[in-house]
Structure 1
Amino acid sequence: MSNAAARSGFLQGLVAAAASPLWWSAVVLLVCLQLPQLSPVQATVCLSQGPLQAGGCLCASDILSCTAVGLERVPGEMPVSAVTLDLSHNRIEQLEGGSFEGLYRLETLRLAHNKLTTIQPWAFRNTSGTLLRHLDLSSNQLRVLEQHYFLDLPGLEELLLFNNRIVHVESRALEGLGSLRKAYLSHNRLTDFPFFSIQEHSHPHLSMLDLSSNRLPKLPLEDISNLPTSVKRGLYLHNNSLVCECSMYGLFRYWEERNFTSVTDFRQEHTCLVYGKQKGTVRFFKHSRYFEKCNLTAVSGLLTEQESSVSVKAGKPLLLHCMTTLTGQHVTFLWVSPNQEYVAPPGNNGSLKMYTNGSLEIVAAGADDSGIYWCMALDEKQQRNESREVNVTVVLHHDSEPHESFNTGFTTLLGCVVSLVLVLMYLYLTPCRCPHCHKASPHAAAALSQGNEAGAGSAQSSILTPTPPATTEGPGRKVSTNKHVVFLEPIKEQQNGRLRVGQGHLGPGLLVGPEQHSKFHNQMQQRAGETDSIMSVFSDTPIMLP
């Protein structure tokens, strides 16, 4: 029976058994018979008795896996529908030109754990190109990354090259990878790396560059400072052969202060080599005493990024950095001041200084220096230019405001201290009291009476003794050292501490009769006795009692 007759009979039987419970078995059988017609190429490669099937390759949907099957070269027949191709753990030594021709849907290519030593030009030609996003070449025997290796992969996002024998990376090896996000080159033998080739316009999406566990002896500080911020945050440099020096230490200290994960996640693995009498490896984040004498001001100044808006006090200097990704000998810089003045090295009439690295210094900021400064960088060789702007604000001092708030606080503190000292002197440093005090003469008492009469107005309010009183509280008693404030009733006339009682009148202009005089005389004698005791306590001058 022919195949056509068999299929016709099968279809007639399927229609007759559609109502039976076993109708789904027929559907499955029909699909299996039609598989070779749905994908002829895939059926030829995956279901034939070719090298792939004989070597144990697995073909499932859009995945082709030929791992650990002893392949010495890339297979010539592969399904064009493959999206993921895994050729890892084989014996492939080189990638020839056009090795992956026809794989227009390929997105992931794994060639890890082979014996690759060479990648010939155009090895990835006619592949998916922009679709290939993941390329794994780790654990091979590559020694040099040449500039033609990845020219055909503009859409590559992840490149794995760790655990090779790479000793050199050519300056243009990563040039064609404009979509690159992560590059892993750890565990190699690199002694240098072209940091200057990683620029913002050439690798705008790069956020991780792993160069750890290599043999880098020294870091080009200037090239690293010009890297985009996203690259510096993900630049891993631990476990290298770095020599302990101040610039290296300042770089990692600056990144630690900014909380870069490349430093904080591997803090203990950051080491450097010390040469001299004591040779060895130092974990410089743990043993920072080796860098106590380092002047990190210049290093931090080079690594500091220029903010888009800065302020400066009048009369103070200000340094502006021209932050650009263009580097090299062919790059020239130019500044434009707010008054549309072009500034080039070495500067203008003295108020602005410009350096060859593109930095501009305002010598003494004034009111006219406020505004927007434009920096332009031009690469004559590559015919590229970049510009940055910085808004400068000059803060002026006002006469109504103190220049430094610390002066007012210091003056207040000084006044409090002086006041406290005077109070202590007043309480404890009293004048020496003479044990033998001479009584005042009648003439002195008379003079005192006149003085008391002259100062009667002041005695009516309050009396605060500034010094210990010189009077005695009674015969044979010591001098009183108490200080008092006393409020006295109005006193019209007094003499030597006593009220003067006139006959026939009570003070000026107030006359009394004979009957009131006797009664008032007794009252005044009693009040005079009280006045004597009061005045003997609160008076600051000697008082002669009869």
Structure 2
Amino acid sequence: MSALLSPSWRSFVVLLGCLQQVLSIRVGICQSGHNSSHTVGCLCASDILSCTGLGLDHVPVDIPGSAVTLDLSHNRLIHLKGGSFGGLFRLQTLRLAHNQLTTIQPGTFGNSSGGLLRHLDLSSNKLRVLEQHYFQEIPGLEELLLFNNRMVQVESGALAVLGGLRRVYLSHNRLADFPFFSVQDHSHPQLAMLDLSSNHLRKLPLEYLSNLPSRLQQGLYLHNNMLVCDCATFRMFRVWEERGFASVTDFRQDHTCRVYGMQQGTVRFFQHGGFFHQCNLTAMTAPLREQQSSVAVSAGGALLLHCATTLTGRHVTFFWVSPNQEYVAPPGNNGSLKMFANGSLEITAARVEDSGIYWCMALDQAHQRNQTQEVNVTVVPHDAIETHDSFNTGFTTLLGCVVSLLLVLMYLYLTPCRCPHCNKATPPATSGTANEAGVESGQSSILSPTPPATTEGPGRKVSTNKHVVFLEPIREQQNGRLGVGHVGPGLLLEPEQQPKQDVFLDTPLVLP
């Protein structure tokens, strides 16, 4: 039979067989060992198992142990029982979105990969309480998606075991409060994004928010809530806006607060900042306390030093030690040092002898923890400031004039020498001297302010110093903005522009 086939037909048959093998490998019907009905209909691709949209009401029991990514989204799962994912020792990504989950029993993730699981998607379900036992068996989790549930409470220890968390999405729930004290720097050193937008938050615990690390303050999304308007809250968001935090600048239109006694009830406080014109924003203590390690103040001026710490609670006490080894506690000493209960130290009238290292300690007696901080204070005398300022002003003005004059003289007189006895320029090269013409064109391209024209010909392309990158397919809508789309076969970028590669998005998710 093969002898009767022409070479072209034989090639076609071989190609068809290879294509069939490739399709059977890349998209196959998942069956574990024997003909089991539990995973029939699931699609296998290498170590990825997808069982989406199959109407499953329980987790299949014969999932291959080699699965690294398991997708059970868009099914009818209501409960997750203990040991549902046992034997999946390589599992790193688990997607359970768009189900009807109401309960996660203890031990659900037991005997699974545990520390290897990095991404868990429980979004678009019916969970009401984030209980403490949910994530005990998966301490290595880095990204947790819980948006679009019916959550009204997050237990204080629910996220305690997840010390490696980087991103948590809790938007579009019904949370009236959140245990901010459970996600401090000492417990979650890598947490950089917490999305609590579109909830029912009313009063923010500014004491705990002020002690969050700066990276988490930048990634704390609180828009579209039911916050009560007050000066302290307005001051906090205003400071975040001044520092350019994306959580505020990207959602200025969505930051609102509720005003009692007003007919409309809500105010977009970034658009109507005049509502807070009676707030003494300059005199009030900023809710975000950050302290530089070295500060300077003029003699006779006042200086406020903050004892920045992550320790919080009523059991935390503060004290300072001045450069002359003086112990300072509230309310301060009888001299120029005044101390407040929140740990801040004020130098009311700075003197030259007040310069030196100020040492602060925060002590949590309940948990037997303490933190220290050093601040180098320099008090500059008035005469030194005046002399220094006048010298700087006069000297910089004079120096600017001299430099400008030198540049003009160099431009006018330091041109290439034109010798009277030099040989005259050679006539332009003919078409036969190709090499010489190439040299001259190279020189002219160096001296010319504009790049030389480049002619195109067969097999030749114009060099534009641009990069061609292939973009990813269009992602789902997040934060009300579309992800990067695929524009044709490629996108021609401007010079020196680098392609972006996103592994995880550090912005909150919004429902489709």
Q: Same fold (TM over 0.5)?
A: yes
Partner of residue 158, structure 1: 143
- CA offsets 1:166-205 (integer angstroms, 9 cap, x no match): 1111112111111111110000001111112221111111
| Alignment map for 1:302-317 (pairs within 5 Å) | 302-317=287-302
Aligned to 1:50: 36
In structure 2, what residue type is equivalent to 1:194?
P
Which string of whole-angstrom CA distances, capped at 9 and with x for unpartnered residues, describes residues 245-303 of structure 1? 22222121111111110011111111122221433322221122212222112445332
TM-score by length of structure 1 reads 0.64
Counterpart in the other structure of 2:179: 194
Partners of 2:385 and 2:287 lie apart in 1 by 38
1:80 paired residue among 55, 60, 65: 65
Amino acid at match of 2:382: H
CA contact (8 A) 2:81 2:105 kept: yes
Tell me how far apart the structure 2 counterparts of residues 277 and 80 of structure 1 sit (CA, whole Å).
60
Which letter does structure 1 place at the counterpart of 2:209?
I
Which of 158, 171, 183 is the matching residue for 2:168?
A: 183
Aligned equivalent of 1:328, options 285, 307, 313: 313
Distance in 1 (alpha carbons) for counterparts of 2:161 and 2:181: 15
Measure the CA separation in 1 of the matches of 2:228 and 2:237.
13
Change in CA separation of 1:400 and 1:243 when aligned onto 2, cut-off 3 Å: closer
Amino acid at match of 2:176: T
CA deviations on 1:358-396 (whole Å, 9 max, x unpaired) are 111223222222112222222233332222211111111
Tell me, what secondary structure is at the counterpart of 1:124? coil
Q: 1:82/1:252 Cα in 2 relative to 1: closer, same or farther (>3 Å)?
A: same
User: Does the 8 Å CA contact 1:47/1:53 hold for their aligned counterparts?
Assistant: no
Shift of 1:244: 2.1
Letter in 2 for 1:244: C
Correspondence for 2:199 among 204, 214, 217: 214
Does the Cα contact within 8 Å between 1:46 and 1:59 map onto a contact in 2?
no
Per mean C-alpha deviation after superposition, the further-off stretch among 325-334 and 43-52 is: 43-52
Q: In structure 1, what residue type is equivalent to 2:247?
A: S
TM-score normalised per structure 2:
0.68
Aligned to 2:459: none
| Map of 1:225 onto structure 2 | 210
Kept after mapping to 2: 8 A contact 1:46/1:52: no
Choose from 291, 300, 303 the match for 2:276. 291
Residue of structure 1 in register with 2:486 after alignment: none
User: Residues 400 and 303 of structure 1: is their aligned pair in 2 closer, same or farther, counting only changes over 3 Å?
Assistant: closer
Which of 118, 121, 135 aligns to 1:133? It is 118
Cα 1:57/1:325, change in 2 over 3 Å? same
Structure with bigger RCO (C-alpha 8 Å, 6+ apart) = 2
Does structure 1 conserve the Cα–Cα contact (< 8 Å) formed by 2:30 and 2:43? no
The one-letter code of the counterpart of 1:50 is S
| Bigger shift: residues 355-364 or 127-136 | 355-364
The aligned residue for residue 189 of structure 2 is 204
- From the superposition, tell whether residues 89 and 299 of structure 1 become closer, same or farther in structure 2 (CA, over 3 Å): farther
What are the equivalent positions in structure 2 for 1:85-124 lying under 5 Å apart?
85-124=70-109
User: Are positions 1:371 and 2:356 aligned together?
Assistant: yes
- For residue 272 of structure 1, the aligned residue among 252, 257, 266 is 257
1:352/1:242 CA distance change after superposition, 3 Å: same
Whole-Å separation in 2 of the counterparts to 1:400 and 1:389: 25
For 1:95 and 1:301, locate their aligned partners in 2 and report how far apart those are by CA, in whole Å.
45
Q: Residues of 2 paired with 1:266 and 1:253: CA distance?
A: 13
Q: Is the 8 A contact 1:377 1:385 kept in 2?
A: yes
Name the SS of the counterpart of 2:275 in structure 1: helix
Residue of 341, 344, 347 corresponding to 1:356: 341
Over aligned residue pairs, what C-alpha RMSD do you find? 2.8
Q: Is it true that 1:383 corresponds to 2:354 in the alignment?
A: no
Cα distance, 1:44 vs structure 2: 8.5
Secondary structure in 1 aligned to 2:295?
A: strand
Counting aligned pairs with the same residue, the percent is 68
Residue 197 of structure 1 aligns to a residue whose secondary structure is helix
Distance 2:357 2:306 in 1: 14
Contact 2:53/2:74 (<8 A) preserved: yes
C-alpha separation in 2, matches of 1:205 and 1:171: 19
Change (3 A) 1:59 1:370: same
How far did residue 43 of structure 1 move?
10
Q: Following the alignment from structure 1 to structure 2, what is the Cα–Cα distance between the partners of residues 66 and 271?
A: 41
In structure 2, what is the Cα distance between the partners aligned to 1:397 and 1:274? 48
**Which residue identity does 2:172 align to in structure 1?**
H
Structure 1 residues 227 and 399, CA gap change in structure 2 (3 angstroms): closer
CA distance in 2, matches of 1:99, 1:275: 49
2:285 & 2:341 partners in 1: Cα distance?
19
Pair 118,364 (structure 1): closer, same or farther in 2 beyond 3 Å: same
Between the aligned partners of 1:84 and 1:95, the Cα distance in structure 2 is 18
CA distance in 2, matches of 1:183, 1:194: 13
Q: Distance in 2 between matches of 1:108 and 1:365?
A: 58
Matched AA of 1:167: V
Q: CA separation in 1, counterparts of 2:43 and 2:385?
A: 85
1:467 corresponds to: none
- CA spacing shift, 1:230–1:45, aligned 2, 3 Å: same
Secondary structure at the aligned position of 2:252 is classed as coil
Counting matched residue pairs gives: 374
Maintained 8 Å contact 1:217/1:241: yes
What is the alpha-carbon distance in structure 2 between the residues aligned to residue 374 and residue 229 of structure 1? 22
Task: Please give the secondary structure, in 1, of the residue aligned with 2:310.
Answer: coil
* Correspondence for 1:540: none
Q: Distance in 1 between matches of 2:299 and 2:72?
A: 67
State the alpha-carbon separation in 1 of the partners of residues 198 and 236 from structure 2. Answer: 18
Q: Of the candidates 236, 253, 276, which is equivalent to residue 221 of structure 2?
A: 236
Change (3 A) 1:326 1:304: closer
Name the amino acid aligned to 1:123: T
Q: Which residue of 2 aligns with 1:425?
A: none
The whole-number CA distance in structure 2 between the counterparts of 1:153 and 1:382 is 26
Higher-helix-fraction structure: 1
Inter-CA distance 122–299: structure 2 relative to 1 (3 Å threshold):
farther
The letter for the 2-side match of 1:144 is V
- Give the conservation status (yes or no) of the 8 Å contact 2:358–2:376: yes
Per-residue deviation at 1:399? Answer: 8.2
The 2-side partners of 1:161 and 1:298 are apart by: 40
Which contiguous aligned blocks of 4+ residues in structure 1 show a shift greater than 6 angstroms? 402-405
User: What is the CA–CA distance in structure 1 between the aligned matches of 2:60 and 2:368, rounded to whole Å?
Assistant: 44
Deviations 1:510-534 (A, max 9, x none): xxxxxxxxxxxxxxxxxxxxxxxxx
